[in-house]
Amino acid sequence: MSLSRKTLAAALALAQASPGMAQDASQRSWLAGDHHVHSIYSARYEANPADPDRVPEPIIGGDSAHTVLQNVRMGKSFGLDWMVSTDHGGPHHSALNHDRAWPDVVAARRAFEGMVLFYGMEFDVPGGEHASLILPTTAEERETLREIEARFGKREAFPADSTRNTKARMIDALRYMADLPHPPVLIANHPSRTATGFGEWGLHAPAEFLAWKHAAPNVVIGMEGAPGHQAAMPSAGRDKAHGSRGLYGGFPTMGGFDQMVARLGGAWDALLGKGLHWTITATSDSHGNWREGGADFWPGEYSKTWVFAAKDADDILDGLHKGRVFVTTGDIIDRLELSAAASQAPERAAGMGGTLALRPGEEMNVTIRFRPARSANASGRLPKVHHVDLIAGSASSGSGDSNATTRVVHRFTSRDWRTEGDALVITHRMKAPNGPSYLRVRGTNTSQAEPGMDVVGEDPWQDLWFYSNPLYVSQQ
């Protein structure tokens, strides 16, 4: 059964409402971005054999030859509206960020006023791997980042200090961030890159992300669903990891996505099943472009994180916090709306990231609206959506690293959607599950029922997916 335009408008209006940010919801649109981008200030450090007690000098461009300005220029050329400059650390890297990276960010902001450029870093997580740290755009952002990295970056100290590299220290860091006047946003990067098998975890398990969220709910928002390094291909001298999509050498990505997300009922669904609002993103992790012999696409060339926001730094961060986010690879779509409304009371409605209150057994109308690719992507191909899945799960499924309640409610193909202007629209009526729950959407250009394990050397442009973030359902 289809929703009326009036009902859909009510659903979208509720989804867009956000006190204290963009007061006029009409200012918001879907903005494409990338929160994981490296520059020449992702330095390399080598000890001096003749003076091993001296702090190593940073080798500028050691891990990426791209300037901040070049990253912004290329991101803009591939359709990005916002971006975060995120260099990782090393001995006394906080001073390098403060003294040299910051002025380059300021210069890039002036050169590209149409791009919302955030200052941040790829935080070297104590007791773990990495996370994107995004600073709100304030007068204090430069000093705030220096202080966070100097206090808590696990590679900051010289000589190395093992007490900085513990999971307890990460909790201390998050609590410190949470108490700042303008708290940053933190997103876990490549969450199971260190895993060695399916359903196994490396340096980070879902329980750790739960602890992060509890320690700093105003800071921690989620994780990369689609990690960067998607252009990695096998070649002479590269090990398995550096020839695999995402540089996942232990257990591969699945459809370009981390197994925590790609596995139906897996870790992401487990976190949602514990009642967490946990957002996924997609990034380039750009270090070296594939045209230069690297493993990466330019920012926006292959992966995009779309946020429904005004073109304003605060509102973009608000959209990330609230989950008004969907992700794509290969520009398979460039718009996605997920909304739901009570069938008999359409004024009760919510959109992606929002919460719809229903009575047990009450029916709701779910609408999925997406805009398919209208021109060739960066590979020169025009992708086509093969099918779209509506997925539901319980948000009170207890403990564990999986969620057995998660299921595909319905799989839709071209026979099931209709055209409205430049969008394709799907409608579905269903009963509210018993207890709190969530809905989410995924789609692909493949015929795969579930994302398959990526094999070394495969063409990432043939294996494209998009994922919505959840719409939450509570009970009245």
Average pLDDT for residues 147-169, to the nearest whole number? 97
Q: Give the separation between CA 64 and CA 359, rounded to whole angstroms.
A: 54
Q: Is the confidence at residue 144, as pLDDT, over 90?
A: yes
Non-local (6+) Cβ contacts of 285 within 8 A are: 36, 37, 38, 189, 190, 227, 228, 229, 296
Question: Tens digits of per-residue pLDDT, 221-257?
Answer: 999 999 999 999 886 555 556 778 999 989 999 999 9
Q: Give the separation between CA 360 and CA 63, rounded to whole angstroms.
A: 54
Question: What's the number of domains the chain is made of?
Answer: 1
Question: Tens digits of per-residue pLDDT, 351-366?
Answer: 999 999 999 889 999 9
Q: Is the confidence at residue 38, as pLDDT, over 80?
A: yes
Lowest mean pLDDT among 66-80, 232-246, 286-300, 303-317: 232-246
Q: Give the separation between CA 358 and CA 251, rounded to whole angstroms.
A: 40
Greater model confidence, 371 or 2: 371
Per-residue confidence (pLDDT) for residue 29, from 0 to 100: 98
State the angle between helix axes of 102-111 and 68-77 in degrees (0 to 180), rounded to the nearest 10.
40
Average pLDDT for residues 121-139, to the nearest whole number? 98
Q: What is the pTM of this model?
A: 0.94
Per-residue confidence (pLDDT) for residue 418, from 0 to 100: 98
Beta bridge pairs of residue 222: 187, 279
Per-residue confidence (pLDDT) for residue 399, from 0 to 100: 78
Per-residue confidence (pLDDT) for residue 434, from 0 to 100: 87
Q: Give the separation between CA 198 and CA 10, rounded to whole angstroms.
A: 42
Tell me the pLDDT of the chain averaged across its residues. Answer: 93
Average pLDDT for residues 449-475, to the nearest whole number? 96
Per-residue confidence (pLDDT) for residue 236, from 0 to 100: 53
Per-residue confidence (pLDDT) for residue 240, from 0 to 100: 58
φ and ψ at residue 318, rounded to 5 degrees:
-60, -40
pLDDT bucket at 102, cuts 50 / 70 / 90: very high
Domain span including residue 469: 5-475
Average pLDDT for residues 195-210, to the nearest whole number? 95
Per-residue confidence (pLDDT) for residue 238, from 0 to 100: 58
Per-residue confidence (pLDDT) for residue 106, from 0 to 100: 98
Q: Is the confidence at residue 159, as pLDDT, over 70?
A: yes
Question: Tens digits of per-residue pLDDT, 384-437?
Answer: 999 999 999 999 987 799 999 999 999 999 999 999 999 999 999 999 988 999
Domain harbouring 250, CATH code? 3.20.20.140
pLDDT bucket at 9, cuts 50 / 70 / 90: very low
